[in-house]
Structure 1
């Protein structure tokens, strides 16, 4: 059982390759990795990142911003949890390697990536809108620790400090976090969108591999093409005999006792052909199944019947 399978490894195999895309970055993931392996790697990365983002978000913390609305954080965590589940099912689908499941999973991957990217973009917009709230939160959180430290000092020559002023450069902090959030959003859009397109390209490749052989067989059957190894006349390409008058019967070529006969439907050229030599009379034979018994050669030429050419 194992021995023939082991020997089959060293035998050459002939496979038909289908170029489903003219772009090299879509025929292979990142231009150098097989699409199936690339889809597996992308799903593993999606599962890891989405679970991390979901865990951080459910702790009421944003993975990109120091301050964010609780509702936006929970929605982002839910979207990442949903996408992590989809990517996990994508790993199982790639292991199964069935075109039907891969095509449906490509649709779910596209939906999950779209939801995640839209939610990340909305979070960036929300962070821009809540700029004043962010500055207030930044000043209060920073001044609280400083105020506690000042109160612990004895009130001898203490100077009053306005803790509501932006002494902690919160405006620059907001600008820095906004740049980091936008850069993270652009990176996620590029990688997530490209990996989703590669997964879709993998599903297209699977569909070509699944349907092209069946389509070719259907086309061959529809056009009544014959295998040259099964054609009794070799590579001559004669159509199968359908019993019509004057048609070629391929069964005659399989009989070694019969010579190759071609019927030429020619009209009577002139009356001089009525005089045939004895050697030509011997060469004339009636092609089956049209026997010319009871007729002499003169009758055949006078009535303009088909002439017979013998191929040696």
Structure 2
């Protein structure tokens, strides 16, 4: 595995371990929970001093992920909202944004730059891959903002009992085809269906039935796209055909269900970054489907997983289908 023994983020935690740290965990799907668990494991391993009182904090650390992009927030960027809240409520406290992927629209960028100037207290922005690091490096950021790069926080779990326990349960029952059903899909058809389902929610009189129809269409489309990709990949690389499990496991009811679906797989083909990362940490053959319009998967793969081994494989789509 091409994972450094100690990440740059972890090394920074060791430097500030005696300071009182206020950690902002954030919420989300099971992939986001893996990021949070990685952050908490790193904080614990670095023997950091954690406080639940923002007023006592000497540092604020906001959990990593993919907050700074145009895909989520319903018109308000989640990353900017978090950054603004803690700049306004603790303007004199140094703030650390844990490893993130950044993709700005002009509106998101201008808001981001404005928030960075709310106070002169330091801000450290960790990119989780080189594309985002280079993007930040080209910005005219205030002098109080520093840029660093470190691996996605889920990689911090590599030597944890969490990973070791799931490795003990590992089996090879199927090929997991985990295609995104949301607006981060690599396929324009899936993105359109997601938009239609969102609009259907506003049609109050027929909302339940229309939402169910579009949700069903998304699942069927995901299955069709997954089968198409599966056949292409099997033929291209000469892999032995396997029983297939079609499921976007980001919508599972629990983290354990999510992890078990990955643990039982003989191979994983996915558009979801943390499905692939967990599979990688569990030594599963992983094939990432890279969205040509969003660098997240490609960039994290290149920075943290690309190496001499056959897996993981990055399967590039030439254009959005």
What band does the TM-score fall into relative to the shorter chain?
Answer: under 0.3
TM-score normalised to structure 2 length: 0.18
Q: Which has the higher strand share?
A: 2
TM-score normalised to structure 1 length: 0.19
